[in-house]
Amino acid sequence: MADHTEATIEINADVQVILDVIADLTAYPQWSQGITSVDVLKVDGERPLRARFTLDAGPIKDVYELDYVWHQDRVSWSLAQAGVLTAMDGSYELASTTTGATRVRYQLTVDLRIPMMGFMKRAAEKVVIDTALKGLKARAEAHGTPAA
């Protein structure tokens, strides 16, 4: 099993606002670096269950599909199909803090068909996670109401 990378950030918005931002997959190209388009393929109510992403992250370009599982304070995804990627599995776990913010923990495992040294892959995962968390924070705080 591949190693995963994780990071945590505090966001000044409540859990539901953040989950709504995460669920708005078609808006990802506006705030998630490298994602150029997203097509939601299957939904359950308001939450996407499968989506197709187009990725252009410098040397890595791919079209891949993710399957999502939604919970009250967590969302996880796993790679359903791709060209270059062999793994793109991760999760956001959200928890309200005593200060009224929400702590978001992001875990990600990425693997590629092309060979890449482990430390280089983990460094790339770290960049993806840091960029995604900063984008999520900015988007949620701009579109949501602060936690009470």
Q: Which residue, among 44, 51, 56, has the nearest Cα to 26 in the 3D structure?
A: 51
| Residue 127 binned pLDDT confidence (cut-offs 50, 70, 90) | low
Confidence (pTM): 0.86
Contacts of 121 (CB under 8 A, 6+ apart): 110, 111, 112
Where are the extended beta strands (E) located within 1-148?
A: 5-11, 35-44, 47-57, 60-70, 74-81, 85-96, 102-112
- For the chain, domains (ranges, CATH) are 5-143 (3.30.530.20)
- Which one has a higher pLDDT value, 1 or 4? 4
pLDDT recorded at residue 147: 44
Banded pLDDT at 1 (limits 50, 70, 90): very low
Q: How wide is the angle at C-alpha 127 spanned by C-alphas 93 and 46, nearest 5°? A: 40
Which residues, at least 6 apart from 127, have a Cβ–Cβ distance to it below 8 Å?
A: none
Q: Six-digit token pair at 51?
A: 């989506």
Report pLDDT digits (tens) over 68-124. Answer: 999 999 999 999 999 988 889 999 999 999 988 999 999 988 877 766 555 555 566
Cα distance between residue 117 and residue 114, in whole Å: 10
CB 87 within 8 Å of CB 107: no
CA 148/CA 145 separation, integer angstroms: 9
Encode pLDDT of 26-64 as tens digits: 999 998 888 999 999 999 988 999 999 998 877 778 899
What's the pLDDT band for 125 if we cut at 50, 70, 90?
A: low
**Cβ atoms 147, 137 nearer than 8 A:** no
In single-letter form, the type of residue at position 113 comes to: R
Q: What is the pLDDT of residue 3?
A: 67
